[in-house]
Amino acid sequence: MKKVLLTFTFAALANGLAAGDWPGFRGPLGNGVSDEVELPIALDAKKHIAWRIDLPGRGLSSPLVVGNRVFVTASGGTRQDRLQILCLNAVDGSVIWQRQFWAMGSTVCHDKTSIAAPTPVTDGKLLFALFSSNDLFCLDLDGNLQWLRGLTVDYPNARNSLGMASSLVLTGGVLVTQVENDSESFTAGLRKENGANLWKLSRPKSSNWTTATVQKTKSGAESVLLQSGKGIHAVNPKTGEVAWHYADGASTIPSSVLAGGVLYVPSHGVTALELADDGKSFKQKWRSSRLRPDTASLLVHRDRVYSLNSAGVLGCGDAASGQRLWQLRLDGPFGGSPVVADNHLYAFNEEGMAQVVDLSAPEGRIAGQMELGEMILCSPAVSNGAIYVRSNERIWKIARKTQL
């Protein structure tokens, strides 16, 4: 299998992860872009479904992949209070291990979502799994529990009756855990070794389902870019100190994406913020009200910015100016964020239809479709020539036959 090694791969390798691993929400850099090539395009269920495995509970968290292991969370039981973490063999989908814990926080949520909504994260040695109940478990990759936290036990009003969904972000040994809601709203930096609070930052008292973005500056410094209805706060992951604040508001559902030192924010459509190399400031570059993401997060690939709106319209804009270049109607609606690999965009709608868009076509072109037949709300994982996607009942591996 060939791989185009992009620069970001080196960052992943530095963390002890291999090229091709998918270690967290929207991949190695949290931007939904994969360096995989030769993924299936003209999708065909008979040819491209390598395996399909039943899951023991519901979920919309994304699968993770480390080497030949696939990790996925689920919530089972009548009250969704059985928190499941599974490790599957990427080759055949067989269960390598499965762990179950009791929910310690609230398992009340909207019927459409589930308690296994946040995507876990791994550094290639440890797996960190957060649930909507604000219960957090750290296991090694062989399934041995290392530590746990019950954040709603610690902070009883930290909950959301619609459900929580912000995914974990791991940077510089700090596990950034967003527990942002209408009441006891905070984001915490936890030591990855033992889960202890390194810092705890009060956040806007408003429900928020977005996931943070990490900026790594040329000097090696890191900033965690927290998105909320109040805009973007750039936070030092070591201290929790706020370096700067973009205060013009932002969406609380789709997340921002960082590419080439520019943060593309779902704010008044899309607002592009040029970030200073030292991580201490920003400058607004452009704003476009003609690109309007809805639930799905933004994507940036090869100087183009992509947004999916509630009607299923894929908008493509010039990443340098924000000018909209074309639109393509897909079969929506979309609850999960799409991913890009080899200049093709992979999107799964809520009815379970996979759609592949050839981004090299002048105005985009639907190059493949495949029905999975179940509601899909997750963002897929892309790893080692395959796409992994899950529903409330199952997880699929989609790949070319030669790569099964």
Partner 1 sequence: MMVLGLASLGQAANDEFDESVAVLRAVGGEGQGNEAAGRALKHLAKGGVDTLPALLAAMDGANPFAANYLRGAVEVIAGDALAKGGELPLVELGEFLLNRSHDTKPRALAFELIRRVDVKAAEQLIPGLLGDPSVDLRREAVARLFGQAEGLVKAGNKPAAVLLYRQALDAARDLDQIQAVAGALRELDRKVNLTRHFGFLVDWQMAGPFHNKDRAGFAAVFGPEKNAALSVTYDGVKGKVKWQPYSTDDEYGMVDFNKPYGDLKEVTGYAQTEFVSLTDRPAELRLGCKNAWKIWLNGELVFERDEYHRGMRIDQYQLPVQLEKGSNTILVKACQNEQVEDWTVQWQFQLRVCDATGTAIHSAAKKNPEVAVK
Residues that bind partner 1 (CB under 8 A): 77-79, 97-102, 104, 108-110, 137, 143-150, 153-154, 156-157, 160-162, 181-183, 190, 193-197, 205, 207
Q: How far is the CB of 100 from partner 1 (least distance, A)?
A: 6
For residue 205, what are the CA distances in angstroms to 152, 158, 311? 16, 10, 29
- Min dist CB 161 to partner 1, Å, is 4
**What is the b/e burial string over 222-253, where b = at least 16 CB atoms within 10 angstroms of the residue's CB?**
bbbbbbbbbbbbbbbbbebeebbebeebbbbb
Burial of 152 (0-12, 13-18, 19+ CB in 10 A): buried
Structure tokens at 381: 């994982």
- Nearest distance from C-beta of residue 212 to partner 1, angstroms: 20
CA gap 189, 92 in Å, rounded: 36
CB of 79 to partner 1, least distance (A): 8
**Which tokens in the block code for residue 347?**
């999107």
Nearer residue to partner 1 within complex by CB, 4 or 145? 145
- Widest pairwise Cα distance in the chain: 53
Token pair recorded at residue 356: 């592949």
Work out how close the CB of 404 gets to partner 1 at its nearest, in angstroms, rounded to a whole number: 25
CA distance 215 to 13: 17
Q: What SS3 state is found at 120? A: coil
Q: How many helical (H) and strand (E) elements, i.e. helices and strands, does the chain have?
A: 3, 33
The structure tokens listed for 6 are 């992009």
**Minimum distance from CB of 237 to partner 1 (Å)?**
17
Closer to partner 1 by CB, 7 or 78: give it: 78
**Minimum CB–partner distance for residue 103 and partner 1 (Å):** 9
Tell me whether residue 143 or residue 313 sits nearer to partner 1 (CB atom): 143
3-state SS class at 52: strand
Phi, psi of 8 (to 5 degrees): -65, -20
Residue placing its CB nearer to partner 1 in the complex, 197 or 217: 197
- Between 92 and 193, CB nearer to partner 1: 193
Strand bridging mode 49-54 / 231-235: unpaired
- When the beta carbons of 9 and 181 are compared against partner 1, the nearer one is 181
